[in-house]
Amino acid sequence: MEFLLSSKPRCMLFLAIGGGGDVATAAMLALATRRLGLKSFVASFAWERFVVDPIPGPIHLDEIIGAKPLGSYSVLVDGGCYAVRGGRKVVFQAVNASKALGEGVAVVDLYRGVRGVVKGIEEVMEHYGCDKLVAVDVGGDSLATGFEEELWSPLADFIGVVASAEVGGILAVHSPGADGELPQDYVLRRISMVAERGGYIWARGVTREDIEALKHILSYVVSEASSVTFLAYAGSYGYVEIRKGSRRVYISPLNLVTFFLDSRTVAELNPVANAVKDAQSLEEARKELNKRGIFTELDLEEEVYKLIQRGVEVTADDLLKIKRSFREKLSKG
């Protein structure tokens, strides 16, 4: 990993910026870094899929039981921590990653927008003595514009990318298309656009040691997207369905690759980055995206929760209908 940088860092922080399950890949990359003799640690946003936590939105830091505050914008969780949401106990993926690693995993608050995430990153990096951030995204939604028809969850990714750019971080896009949102070839096209602007840093394929580490991590962490790496490693090729059949993933050897990109260059390519950057909270960022006709994962979760409260067993058709109707509503202003 030292080849990523002009000077060797003392310590690298791998922050999972997508869904909660991205922490599995962040942990895999952190362990790979340690095998090269560098210090590395793992952090994550705490935002679970509705099948794990039906309450809409990320987990609030004050909902986490047993966490150690690192400051006002971040906490450290261990394997004994959990959240209480809507009267339910939720063991979220950062906690599961902590169990797998046998060490603490930091959680950064998403609710106070980019500025809050930046402060949370700074708190965590100071705690560990890290001097370089790597923001980890499985699939590549962080490279989107927001206006792609296939996109489902731009909110956390966009906030994460812009925050990473603010601290001079690196974006690690692992397993292009693995989350069943942007098509693999589109993600590669966006990577090429980053490269055209001088933002390409490195690409790395997974090793057998990585696969063994990921296998162990995923025995604790729930992540469909991170699991795609296994399928590619085993030689799978072609389409598989994920997310209750609402999305398809095209599996190829490219799902074994991590692309390391300059976060500032990626943010400069995002037409709504400034709107997200200026938002003072997660809710304000969501509204800024909605105003531009962009559907977010928070919109989806709020509609799904309404169905759950009515006792509806949510299907792939329900998810697709929610997305289609919400986008139509946004397009009408």
Structure tokens at 2: 């030292």
Residue 243 has pLDDT above 80, yes or no: no
> How far is the C-alpha of 329 from the C-alpha of 174, rounded, in Å?
33
Is 152 contained in some domain?
A: yes
In a domain, 142, yes or no: yes
Please give the pLDDT value at position 39. 96
* 86-139 tens-digit pLDDT: 999 999 999 999 999 999 999 999 999 999 999 999 999 999 999 999 999 999
| Per-residue model confidence (pLDDT) at position 316 | 84
Q: What is the pLDDT of residues 21-74, one digit of tens each?
A: 999 999 999 999 999 999 999 999 999 988 899 999 999 999 999 999 999 999
Cα separation, 18 vs 159, in Å, equals 10
Is residue 308 one of the residues assigned to a domain?
no
Q: How many domains does the chain have?
A: 1
Phi/psi-derived region of residue 87, left when phi > 0, alpha when psi is between -120 and 50, beta in every other case: left
Task: Examine the pLDDT at 20 and tell me if it is beyond 90.
Answer: no
Question: What is the reported pTM?
Answer: 0.95
260 pLDDT more than 80:
yes
pLDDT of 240 above 90: no
Whether 298 maps to a domain, the answer reads: no
CATH label of the domain that carries residue 240:
3.40.50
Cα 2 to Cα 8, 32, 176, 203, distances in angstroms:
5, 11, 23, 13
Q: Is residue 32 part of a domain?
A: yes
| Residue 182 pLDDT > 90 | yes
In a domain, 314, yes or no: no
| Range(s) of the domain holding residue 263 | 2-293
Q: Is residue 315 part of a domain?
A: no
Asked if residue 332 belongs to a domain, the reply is: no
Q: Which two tokens stand for residue 162?
A: 């812009």
Q: Identify the pLDDT of residue 104.
A: 98
Residue carrying structure tokens 């202003």: 333
Of 178, 144, 177, 172, the residue nearest 158 (C-alpha): 144
